[in-house]
Amino acid sequence: MLFGLAATADAIPPEAAPASTSSTEGMGANPARQAVRLFLCGDVMTGRGIDQIMRHPGDPRLHEPFVKSAKEYVAIAEQASGPIPRQVQPAYVWGDALAELDRLRPDARIVNLETAVTTANEPWPGKGIHYRMHPTNVACLSAAKIDCCTLGNNHVLDWGRDGLAETIATLHAAGLRTAGAGADEREARAPAVITLPGGGRILVFAFGSPSSGIPPGWAARGRRAGVSELDESQPTAVSQVARDVRGAKRAGDLVVASIHWGDNWGYEVTGEQQRLARGLVDEAAVDVVFGHSSHHPRPVEVHRGKLILYGCGDFLNDYEGIGGHEYYRPELGFMYLPDLDAASGRLRRLVLVPTCIRGFRVNRARTGDAEWLQEMMTREGRALGTRLEKASTGEFELRWEPDDRR
């Protein structure tokens, strides 16, 4: 994902219901080892302007064509949304999401962290946008009790391999697991392992695609540090992931494949993306495909009972006040909370909590905004056999048709 004043694209230049039909009221109770509830969301970018409002802001100097200080992004946001506090507590940026997480009690919390966490000062040459958060501000991730940060994206090496090393070391020191980038190819491709209370594991594999704007030199190769690369246009992509999964998966494990791919704007799911996502389910024993990079949510599919999120949008960023793509409402997004059958990984239910970025924090979306999201996701999901239905407590639940009825 790339977003600055100089550029807004990331390329540099009867229906079947879920198995559980209960309402979202009472979602706090997960029967042990019968269902596993995850929290997934769109890209989390806590760098640049957001870093500047935290308790330990880093060096604000930028190397963008037009904006030279991260403080300018704070000023732009305040022009659009009003005053934003400074020296905020670590939990501030999560806003209403924290209460929702306390209420819905996911068993594991997984986010795509789209910023370097570093004090490095040498930006990646030739790259127009560079995100970073000061390492001391890592408490903002701990405040949301995040279990795993996926790093296979096009901003984790914005400040070079030294910045990547500091990012990983800082996250690990804070007790956060990582996947998708590492000190060498083996480490970059290894899954994060989340052990569940009462037994069972979630394996999180993370990959970044060149289609999201990841520079060619970022791929981890042999002993070279970098990102775990996965190219949906290559016919070997599925078998590549299948080998990784076979090497790590044990009986009873659930597998999440995080993929940073595709354009920033538009609702189209490409044929290459769909072939890869379905292939990961069919041949690589993946239970959830967790796709991201687009600046707005894209449609959802359930393939052979397994959840495919083609694009989760942006969950947190410093883009407030930057215009140009208002049609897509990029400030709106979702908290995605799938319930997976613990034995099979099949989707039992998917709850989507509508959100809105305002004041550099996550807010519960207002009624009209939530209705816009529902209409859009239902319209765009029609070809994939999915739609959103409003629940009594204001969230949405996914409804889907079985594969043979599409």
Q: What integer pLDDT is reported at residue 20 of this predicted model?
A: 37
d(C-alpha 31, C-alpha 244), whole Å: 30
Q: Is residue 77 part of a domain?
A: no
Contact assessment for residue 19 and residue 348, using Cβ atoms and an 8 Å cutoff: yes
Q: Is residue 51 part of a domain?
A: no
Mean pLDDT, range 62-81, rounded to an integer: 97
What does DSSP assign to residue 16?
P
Is residue 14 pLDDT above 70, yes or no?
Answer: no
Q: Is residue 11 part of a domain?
A: no
Q: Residue 70: which pLDDT band, with cuts at 50, 70 and 90?
A: very high
Q: Residue 17: which pLDDT band, with cuts at 50, 70 and 90?
A: very low
Radius of gyration of the chain (CA): 19
pLDDT tens-place string over residues 288-329? 999 999 999 999 999 999 999 999 999 999 999 999 999 999
Contact assessment for residue 335 and residue 318, using Cβ atoms and an 8 Å cutoff: no
Q: What integer pLDDT is reported at residue 214 of this predicted model?
A: 97
Contact assessment for residue 248 and residue 284, using Cβ atoms and an 8 Å cutoff: no
Q: Cα–Cα distances in Å, from 95 out to 58, 113, 163, 330, 363?
A: 22, 17, 28, 18, 6
SS3 content of the chain, % helix, strand, coil (to 5): 25, 25, 45
Is residue 8 pLDDT above 60, yes or no?
Answer: no
d(C-alpha 367, C-alpha 355), whole Å: 10
Percent pLDDT > 90 in the chain is 89
d(C-alpha 386, C-alpha 370), whole Å: 17
Q: What integer pLDDT is reported at residue 33 of this predicted model?
A: 58
d(C-alpha 336, C-alpha 106), whole Å: 10
pLDDT tens-place string over residues 35-56? 999 999 999 999 999 999 999 9
d(C-alpha 317, C-alpha 50), whole Å: 7
Q: Is residue 310 part of a domain?
A: yes
Number of Cβ atoms within 10 Å of the Cβ of 331: 22
Q: What integer pLDDT is reported at residue 393 of this predicted model?
A: 82
- How far does Cα 60 stand from its chain's mean position? 25
Mean pLDDT, range 85-89, rounded to an integer: 98
Q: Is residue 168 part of a domain?
A: yes
Q: What integer pLDDT is reported at residue 9 of this predicted model?
A: 34
pTM for the whole structure:
0.93
pLDDT tens-place string over residues 108-138? 999 999 999 999 999 999 999 999 999 999 9
Name the more confident of 216 and 17. 216
What is the number of alpha carbons within 13 Å of residue 347 lying toward its C-beta? 31
Q: Which helix (H) or strand (E) holds 337?
A: strand 332-341
Contact assessment for residue 340 and residue 36, using Cβ atoms and an 8 Å cutoff: yes
Q: What integer pLDDT is reported at residue 108 of this predicted model?
A: 98
Phi, psi of 350 (to 5 degrees): -125, 120
Q: Is residue 280 part of a domain?
A: yes
Instruction: Give the alpha-carbon dihedral of 46, 63, 72, 70, to 10 degrees.
Output: 30
Q: Residue 22: which pLDDT band, with cuts at 50, 70 and 90?
A: very low
Mean pLDDT, range 331-351, rounded to an integer: 98
Q: What integer pLDDT is reported at residue 156 of this predicted model?
A: 98
Give the domain extent around 392. Answer: 35-44+89-405
Q: What integer pLDDT is reported at residue 6 of this predicted model?
A: 38
Number of Cβ atoms within 10 Å of the Cβ of 31: 7
pLDDT tens-place string over residues 170-194? 999 999 999 999 999 999 999 999 9
Question: Would you say how long the chain is, in residues?
Answer: 406
CATH number of the domain that residue 313 is part of: 3.60.21.10
pLDDT tens-place string over residues 94-107? 999 999 999 999 99
Mean pLDDT, range 343-348, rounded to an integer: 97
The total of structural domains in the chain comes to 1
Q: Residue 403: which pLDDT band, with cuts at 50, 70 and 90?
A: confident
- The tokens for 218 are 């970022």
Q: Is residue 1 part of a domain?
A: no
Q: Is residue 291 part of a domain?
A: yes
Average per-residue pLDDT for the chain: 92
pLDDT tens-place string over residues 241-287? 999 999 999 999 999 999 999 999 999 999 999 999 999 999 999 99
Phi, psi of 43 (to 5 degrees): -60, 135
